[in-house]
Amino acid sequence: MIKKDVVVIGGGLAGLVSALGLARAGLEVALVEKKAYPFHRVCGEYISNEALPYLRRLGVQISTLSPARISRFMLTSPTGKTLQAKLDLGGFGLSRFTLDNYLYELAQQQGVSVMQQQAVQEVSFADDEFTAQLANGKSIKARVAIGAFGKRSNLDRQLQRSFFRARSPYLGAKYHVKYNFPRDLIALHNFADGYAGTSAIEDGKYCFCYLTTRDNLKKHGSIPAMEQAILYRNPHLRQIFEEAEFLYPQPEVINEISFATKTCVENHMLMCGDAAGMITPLCGNGMAMAIHGAKIVTDQVLLYFAGDRSRQELEQHYTLAWKKQFAGRLRLGRTVQQLFGGPLLSEAAVGLLKLAPPAVQLIMRQTHGRPF
């Protein structure tokens, strides 16, 4: 039996940043991750600069990882029409392979007990304490549990979360490529029932990822066949497939991506990152949201351990703080996504936005936060 102050389930951005912040404040933290660092994740790999102040306070030195600096945005329609805009805050590109591994090493240096290649099979709450049961037979007891296990997990089923019962139509895929493209420009390319993003990351590479539907894949039988039949219709995407050097032969793929409304507390467990709610990739700010969510949960948990919050108050204040920061952005993200659901609507949306640059800036401001 392992006893800690906090157990963090899931070692993505939200989990790692939460564990790092709590450990730096003096709490004993265990983090459980089912894979072994470093590894790839399906992710757009762009972070808005709004997250930089908090990362610096945690001792994270992003500049040492040689990120790409991104200041411009391009949107294309399925037929290739384009609009461009300046990013108010700008951001940086960095692979999850590099960033997550760096945060994992930093968390270990701060005293976090990181348990890799371990799955949490069940989490129970009794006598004001959590018990996380691991697949290897060990268990962790802690006063606080943070669920940072991503978009969809078996723990969602165990907790009987409502979104888990509904099948999601979406899947995501990600490649790393080398390609002749401006390194300060993040691009979003629309195609039938989906959209793809490209942005620079470290070492002269680019992240190329896309979201589409299972129906698109089912109709064409395989990822390559679907890409040729659907994505190639956008000339910008066709150019990537024909000219880029793909750095690994098969993409990372994830199924059942859900943008449904989720709750940020389940059976007293505090949900963080995509486990609490996911903004559509169209809005390009999921990584910054994960980091900001980690800050919010860290701040609230520290007040609880300081004796300034009861458990009920911890859960209430966390829920209120999370909704205040993210609920509106998630709603707008889902609305914007619907504008780009089909080829005709996507063409019209790009055409209209091109005529109204202030609307583009407004959408970007509403789906991004301020520096924190």
- With bands split at pLDDT 50, 70 and 90, how would you rate the model's confidence at 284? low
Tell me the average pLDDT across 311-316: 98
pLDDT digits (tens, 9 = 90+) for 172-209: 999 999 999 999 999 999 999 999 999 999 999 999 99
Average pLDDT, the chain: 92
| Predicted confidence (pLDDT) at residue 320 exceeds the cutoff of 80 | yes
Alpha-carbon torsion, ordered 277, 281, 284, 286, to 10 deg:
30
Residue 173, both tokens: 């895929």
Q: Determine the pLDDT at residue 118.
A: 96
pLDDT digits (tens, 9 = 90+) for 79-104: 999 999 999 899 999 999 999 999 99
| Predicted confidence (pLDDT) at residue 365 exceeds the cutoff of 80 | no
Range of 104's domain?
Answer: 2-72+90-167+259-339
CATH no. for residue 249?
A: 3.30.9.10
Q: Determine the pLDDT at residue 349.
A: 75
Q: How many domains does the chain have?
A: 2
| Predicted confidence (pLDDT) at residue 67 exceeds the cutoff of 90 | yes
The answer on 38 and 177 residing in a single domain is no
The Cα 1–Cα 193 span in angstroms is 48
The answer on 107 and 154 residing in a single domain is yes
Q: Is 81 contained in some domain?
A: no
The answer on 302 and 154 residing in a single domain is yes
The answer on 285 and 142 residing in a single domain is yes
The answer to whether residues 122 and 109 touch, using CB atoms and an 8 Å cutoff, is no
The answer on 322 and 267 residing in a single domain is yes
Q: Is 8 contained in some domain?
A: yes
pLDDT digits (tens, 9 = 90+) for 23-55: 999 999 999 999 999 999 999 999 999 999 999
The answer on 240 and 201 residing in a single domain is yes
Of the residues 212, 230, 256, which one is the last residue of a structural domain?
256
The answer on 243 and 274 residing in a single domain is no
Q: Among residues 47, 43, 57, 45, which one has the least CA distance to residue 299?
A: 57
The answer on 152 and 39 residing in a single domain is yes
The answer on 207 and 134 residing in a single domain is no
Q: Among residues 209, 325, 330, which one has the least CA distance to residue 258?
A: 330
Q: Is 352 contained in some domain?
A: no
Tell me the average pLDDT across 252-276: 91
| Predicted confidence (pLDDT) at residue 344 exceeds the cutoff of 80 | no
The answer to whether residues 290 and 273 touch, using CB atoms and an 8 Å cutoff, is yes
The answer on 199 and 117 residing in a single domain is no
CATH no. for residue 57?
A: 3.50.50.60
Q: What DSSP line would sit under 210-272, residue for residue? A: EEEEHHHHHHHSSHHHHHHHTGGGSHHHHHHHHHSEESSSS-EEEEEE--S---SEETTEEE-
Of the residues 256, 279, 311, which one is the last residue of a structural domain?
256
Is the peptide bond between 38 and the residue preceding it cis, with omega within 30 degrees of 0?
A: yes
Q: Is 85 contained in some domain?
A: no
The answer on 182 and 146 residing in a single domain is no
Of the residues 206, 237, 256, which one is the last residue of a structural domain?
256
- With bands split at pLDDT 50, 70 and 90, how would you rate the model's confidence at 341? low
Q: Is 305 contained in some domain?
A: yes
Q: Is 349 contained in some domain?
A: no
| Predicted confidence (pLDDT) at residue 282 exceeds the cutoff of 70 | no
Q: Among residues 165, 174, 37, which one has the least CA distance to residue 97?
A: 37
The Cα 48–Cα 92 span in angstroms is 7
Q: How many CB atoms lie within 10 A of CB 63?
A: 11
| Predicted confidence (pLDDT) at residue 314 exceeds the cutoff of 70 | yes
The answer on 57 and 174 residing in a single domain is no
The Cα 224–Cα 213 span in angstroms is 14
| Predicted confidence (pLDDT) at residue 342 exceeds the cutoff of 80 | no
Q: Determine the pLDDT at residue 167.
A: 80
